[in-house]
């Protein structure tokens, strides 16, 4: 595990301490559980490549049509 420091509102911290006492676990354990739950919700944004369609099947095969040849 890696040690870190967080800043929290006093009322949130008081509620977390009360929860820890009620469950007979440490505040650190409550914090780890909350961090794990939040991290489990995270889904990286989908790549935008390949999600759109021009509606034409021949776009890549005619991309160079009408262009001047390279010098």
Annotated domain spans of the chain? 7-43
The pTM is what? 0.58
Residue 51: per-residue pLDDT:
64
Distance, CA of 71 to CA of 69 (rounded, Å): 6
Residue 68 has pLDDT above 80, yes or no: no
pLDDT tens per residue, range 18-41: 999 999 999 999 999 999 999 999
């Amino acid at each position: 595990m890696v040690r870190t420091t967080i800043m929290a509102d006093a009322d949130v911290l008081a509620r977390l301490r009360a929860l820890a006492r009620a469950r007979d676990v440490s505040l650190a354990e409550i914090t780890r559980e909350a961090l794990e739950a939040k991290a489990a919700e995270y889904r990286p944004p989908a790549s935008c490549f390949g999600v759109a369609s021009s509606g034409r099947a021949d776009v890549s095969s005619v991309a160079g049509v009408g262009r001047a040849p390279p010098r």
